């Protein structure tokens, strides 16, 4: 697959769970940047579906459209109780790297990430 020298996994010191929610009408491919910066296909997430995975802090992820391979937008959600609050959206990005900044007291070990179409 495509390589990106700027993004790569650094270490596997701190585990984290990540839930990706595909809010787009497209099927998304989740790609992990390995330790050399190569993109590795990890999962396919259908429209309206989700994928929970085990990862590590410092491990970058991206989602692309399964047909065009165009990058999709990723947005980290902060969890408020049992429901996700759109008012708590962080900045949108095309590459997501887990960090402690995204963890919440309500769910300290899991980061919620929305996948959506670019520009939405």
Find the domain containing 53 and state its range. Answer: 15-116
Q: Is residue 2 in some structural domain?
A: no
The pLDDT tens digits of the residues spanning 5-63 come to 589 999 999 899 999 999 999 999 999 999 999 999 999 999 999 999 999 999 999 99
Q: Is residue 63 in some structural domain?
A: yes
pTM of the full predicted structure? Answer: 0.82
Q: Is residue 4 in some structural domain?
A: no
The pLDDT tens digits of the residues spanning 61-105 come to 999 999 999 999 999 886 553 334 344 445 678 999 988 877 766
CATH code, domain carrying 98: 2.60.40.780
Q: Is residue 3 in some structural domain?
A: no
Q: Is residue 9 in some structural domain?
A: no
Task: Report the domain count for the chain.
Answer: 1
How far apart CA 102 and CA 82 sit, in angstroms, is 16
Interacting residues of 52 by C-beta distance below 8 A, sequence separation 6+? 17, 18, 19, 20, 110
The pLDDT tens digits of the residues spanning 108-117 come to 678 999 999 9
Q: Is residue 94 in some structural domain?
A: yes
How far apart CA 89 and CA 36 sit, in angstroms, is 30
């Amino acid at each position: 697959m495509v390589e990106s020298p700027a993004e790569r996994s650094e270490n596997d010191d701190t585990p984290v769970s990540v839930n990706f929610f595909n809010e787009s009408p497209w099927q998304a491919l989740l790609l992990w940047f390995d330790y050399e910066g190569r993109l590795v296909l990890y999962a396919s997430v259908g429209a309206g579906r989700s994928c929970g995975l085990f990862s590590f802090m410092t491990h970058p992820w991206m989602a692309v459209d399964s047909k065009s391979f165009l990058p999709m937008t990723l947005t980290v959600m902060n969890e408020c109780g049992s429901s996700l609050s759109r008012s708590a959206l962080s900045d949108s990005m095309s590459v997501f790297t887990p960090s402690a900044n995204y963890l919440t007291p309500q769910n300290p070990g899991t980061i919620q990430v929305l996948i959506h179409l670019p520009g939405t």
